[in-house]
Structure 1
Amino acid sequence: MKMLLSVVFATTAMTAFAQSKAPVFTTIKANPITSVKDQNRSGTCWDYATCGFLESEILRKTGKTVDLAEMYVAYQDYLDCADYHIRMHGNSRFSEGGSCDDVVSVIKRFGIVPEEAMTRPGAMVGDSLANFNEFFPALESYINNYANSTQTSITTQWRQGMKGILDAYLGTYQKEFTYQGKRYTPQTFAASLGLNWDDYVSLTSFTHHPFNEWMVIEAPYKWRPRPSFNIPLDQMMSVIDNALAHGYCVAWGGDVSGDNFSRSGIGLALDKQKAYSLAGSDAERWLKLPKAQQKSKLDSLGVDAPEVTPTQALRQKYFDTWEATYDHVMLIFGTAKDKNGKEYYMVKNSWGDYGNYHGIWYLSKSFVAMYTTYIFLNKHALDKRLLDKMAVRF
């Protein structure tokens, strides 16, 4: 995951995919991205996806391939999150999760470093991938000891102790470093990347807030109260399509927890009642099957699985009843179609070389319409009418 390469996709899926009987997709358009990374045993999809998004932005603007250090972002963000959690006396969430806004907020305040300037974690020597199994429970316990303190006052010395934990597990970063023959600090390196950190906006689509207004999404992992602009569902989908058509990638936050998201590389907004019948069972017998067998039967339908028709009301219902939660972030970079001519978004995940498409997922447009919590993109990809409503200027 440490070497970043520009990914160029052929117009048809590779023969190896077909040999494994995976559905074959034909690429319609694929914008340049960097290589697939692996978040490994860490809840940092928000970090990997947004760094990947920003790397694609650097590629688009400058043609340069850069490997941004995800653990540098995590280091700074967890310090910020701990500050907030303690100021809230423990009445907030302190966890591994986050959102796209967190990454840009960190870079604006603290800069960023390339992967090679982030010293490998001492406790993870021999494992170059992030492993939070021991690290985060220890950090969480440490911070909650202060956040939930019954003392009438506390000192700020907890920050020094927390930095010691972060140094041990995430690694230390160099305050000055040499990159491609030039000396940088995190701040000057961020300034050298050619991006305007104020260019990035978040959009969403829910009916429990008015459309065409800013709202804070009520999702546990969005601990920073950064607002998203609320627009109708069809407009949100048009924003994605328009951005991709004009060469922009889109960071996507949403739900991948259910049967709708196949671990083999496909996301569909399944119509489960119809799917039961196609998979050779009725609802009553289906529920008696072991979960693994249910999943296997659904996955076997592939792109022929029936989907629900996305509506604003159904999407809202899923969100309100927790059928659609915010639990993952990925990068939408292109479009493709299946054997039936149905269109999908091409998505870069952060699970390494996983699934039938080596880390790439194909999400149907119905899936994205139903399970998106928010999208995050460059405001220059938006049309002027929407920018005027947002009161965002170039």
Structure 2
Amino acid sequence: MKFVDEVRIYVKAGDGGNGAVAFRREKFIERGGPNGGDGGNGGSVVFVANPQLTTLLDYRYQQHHRAKNGEHGMGSDCNGHGAEDMILQVPVGTLIRNEQTGELLVDLSDPGQQYVAAKGGRGGLGNMNFATSTRQTPRFAQDGGKGEEVTLRLELKLLADVGLLGFPNAGKSTFISRVSRARPKVADYPFTTLVPNLGMVQYKDNLSFVMADIPGIIEGASEGVGLGHQFLRHVERCKVLVHLIDMGAEGEGRKPLDDFNILNAELKKYSAELASKPQVVAANKLDLTEARERLGPFTEALRRKGIRVYPVSCATGEGMQALMDAVAEVLFTSRTDKLHVEMPAKKAPAKKAASKALAKKAATQAARKGAAKKAPAKKAAAKKAPAKKAPAKKAAAKKSSRKPVAKKAVRKAPAKKAARKALAKKTVRKAPAKKAARKAPVKKSGGRR
């Protein structure tokens, strides 16, 4: 069966039937009045998600879909028959967009989900509906409404829980054929897988999940190289991505680490959300000798980024159980502990810092030793220089301090001497008075005698 995941179709709903203009004409009945019936409703176009379908192949060759119109009304109060809706079966996971505006109308992600893409026209009313007490013979009726018409674009995104990514011929088809009952084409040339394949994986404890295998992605896929990256839409709904690395890849410039970086770059170009999904990195083809030789450097390179690598061999089944356990844990518990590993890059800076610190210490010690050898000469010169200049400065300071003091003393000395002389004069002048006072009583007493 050919796989088709994108089509463009035109849908038109049915028109409603016109109302009838009729009057009752029977024997022995006068003035029977209007009896025109109503028209029937037109059929609508309805999309239904069918889990049994996996492709849009039916709409590739039949692109125009028209629902039936409603029947017209008739006399004798007979209404027209309404048309049945047109049911279009599409796979679960189909996106319906408006072709002109690009607007997403609906995502049919649940089985049995329905969506009315074009609504049918309403049937017109017959003339019996317009009869009144003042207008007993209406000779007109209502026309039916037109059905909606629109051009749609259908896109299929497969509903899968786990998606397989990798370069062409990396072993994705072999992987899904080993863990499920899917039997995709397996060959020894690139681009063996041209369409996505789904497989139901039966895990432990009656748990199961759907795995999708998509065609290989190569460098430049975002620009149309190879099969392009249009198939990446089928893993957008996946919760976990398994990145298969071809450890035995041969070719000019092919290295496992380069393949890993190139594929992640293509994922980011397609969708940043898709690139941020949890990835389980599996190093495949360990049954080859050259693959085991490349495993060590590749594991160490990803360990520096904190990413754990699961070595497996899809051909022999080596390491498959550990890989499936990691996938199931992320899928059912949302825990990503097994996908990461402790980064050894934290210790490397410490060693570098220690070596730098030792180098700095050695440099400082060498500088100190060199400075210690040159220091005595400099210190001696420093000691001699201030010894010669210091006395001169001190003598000048003493002289400058003594001169103003001497002047002050010379200037102030006469004032003190003058004060002393004045006091002496006062005492000299007052002394005769005291002597006279002392002598006076003697004279008086002598007179009395």
* TM-score range relative to shorter protein: under 0.3
Greater Rg, structure 1 or structure 2? 2
Task: Give the TM-score normalised by the residue count of structure 1.
Answer: 0.22
Give the structure-2-normalised TM-score.
0.20
